[in-house]
Chains A and B, each alone.
Chain A
Amino acid sequence: MAKNYDVNGNLISYYAWRNSTYGIEFMIKADQLNSFQENIEYYTSAANLIYLNGPPSRAMIALMNENYLDGLLSMWDEALRSPSYYVYAANILVMTSTNLKPNNITFTHVTKGISSPNYLITSHSYSQYKNLIQQKHGGSWQTVATTPQGPIQILEVGGIKYNARPVASNPYYKLTIDYFRGGKKLGEFRFNN
């Protein structure tokens, strides 16, 4: 375990790992070390699931530690009870963050574990984020339906589908990109513009 300080020298979090194969496996907020130790079996289970697809990238670790820490910490209580939720959240983020500088994407976590994770992306517009996904995965957006507000489009990569839709039930976040894996939705990116 190692300590992580902010630019002012304040202890903000701990890194923890089990062996050198995976590198850093856990991020623990400074004041939640006791909670982490008491629930280590849940975190271990979550980490094992994440690593089924290989260790997280350096960008993901940075993602979880910098602008995104507050967002992820809002899920902490949920993660304690449901490791799979943590996996969902981490997986969704890493799918569009890998290979990007971590400060390039900012978001607000707009749900707190009631249903699937919702991320309000504040650094990119709906169109910009679609381009970002396309740049990362290749392929092209395919229009599968049309609406007065614009097309519903899909970009498919293996078992993953991003579904961009300019409509949503919630009137505050019409612009949405759904993230599907294996035919099931895991979460949404929301946009204000």
Chain B
Amino acid sequence: MANVLKKQEINNFELIMELIATDPFFENISDIIFLLDRHDKLRELEDPELKRAVFTIVQEIIDNGIAKPIFGYSPTGPMPDPIPERAEEVLNYLDKYWGKPTDQHNDIGRAYLIFFAKKDGDLEHNSFKAK
């Protein structure tokens, strides 16, 4: 199981989850990082604690059915086969392709590793492979 922070270790955890659930423009990993920067604390992009905090949020999103993960939009993360569905599987995928600072476009690749669909009509689900 990927390494996550405890919910209690994230400032304003409930607020962050509420914003994710209600913001119609919440889309992907970069939005989670934005919310953590603003409402938890500002961290360097490569801070291992940021990765763990993101994983905690992703786990909460999936475990509570707030949104379903969409894959295939990241230049650094390939389309998984089979498609991860449980939180543990999704976090393992994230952990594998989170990337190194030296990877070209690692920041964008990481940001787009998962998109989230909250309702029918939000993105076509896992319908293609990234280049």
Contact = CB atoms under 8 A, between A and B. Distances in A.
Contacts of B52: none
Contact of B25 (A85, A115, A186): A115
A146 B127 CA distance: 12
A168 interface: yes
A115 B118 contact: no
Chain A interface residue count: which class?
A: 20 to 34
A112 B105 CA distance: 29
Given A182-B45, A188-B25, A115 B122 contact: no
B26 A169 contact: yes
A170 interface: yes
B40 to A, nearest CB: 14
A185 B115 contact: no
A112 B48 CA distance: 31
Nearest to B75: A144
Nearest to A148: B128
B131 A145 contact: yes
A70 interface: no
24 contacts: A84-B38, A116-B31, A144-B105, A145-B73, A145-B112, A146-B130, A147-B73, A147-B128, A152-B73, A163-B108, A167-B115, A168-B27, A168-B123, A169-B25, A169-B26, A169-B28, A169-B70, A170-B122, A171-B121, A171-B122, A173-B25, A178-B30, A183-B45, A184-B34
Interface of A: 82, 84-85, 110-111, 114-116, 118, 143-148, 152, 154, 161, 163, 165, 167-171, 173, 178, 180, 182-186, 188
Interface of B: 19, 22-28, 30-31, 33-35, 37-38, 45, 70, 72-75, 105-109, 111-112, 115-118, 121-124, 127-128, 130-131
